[in-house]
Amino acid sequence: MKLLLVALGGALGSIARYALGKKITEKTMGKFPAGTFIINITGAIMLGVVSSINTDIYTYALFGDGFLGAYTTFSTFMYEGVNLFQNSEKKNACIYIILSFILGILGYIAGVVIFKNI
């Protein structure tokens, strides 16, 4: 049952990431990978909320492991960061990588705080 929930959540998360990433990229069209950046930060916030909720293992499998596991993407983050360096966009690469880590951690903490104050 858990595997099915992870698969369902993963399918929905990957579709959401693809659709949202495409929309953001169409709107920004810059040298900064805003789509992946925004998706990963919002995913960190949502994971903070989901991790703070007292849910059963099945609900967490669907949302935490499944949806958010597929919605956020570390591999694309690494790929885009390296590409920025290779394309002589060192300043954008550093900003992207550093802000992703810092805002990802702060986003997760914010998600936990948001849930605790609801």
| pLDDT, one tens digit for every residue, the chain (118 residues) | 999 999 999 999 999 999 999 999 999 988 899 999 999 999 999 999 999 988 899 999 999 999 999 999 898 999 999 999 999 999 999 999 999 999 999 999 999 998 888 7
Q: How far is Cα 39 from Cα 57, in angstroms, rounded to an integer? A: 24
Predicted pLDDT at 55: 84
CA 36 to chain CA mean position, Å: 7
Looking at the structure of the chain, the number of domains it has is 1
Provide the sign of the torsion angle of the four alpha carbons 9, 6, 73, 75, taken in this order: negative
Q: How far is Cα 38 from Cα 86, in angstroms, rounded to an integer? A: 22
Q: Which domain holds residue 52?
A: 2-116
Identify the DSSP state of 105: H
Identify the DSSP state of 54: -
Q: What distance, in Å, lies between the first and last C-alpha atoms of the chain?
A: 30
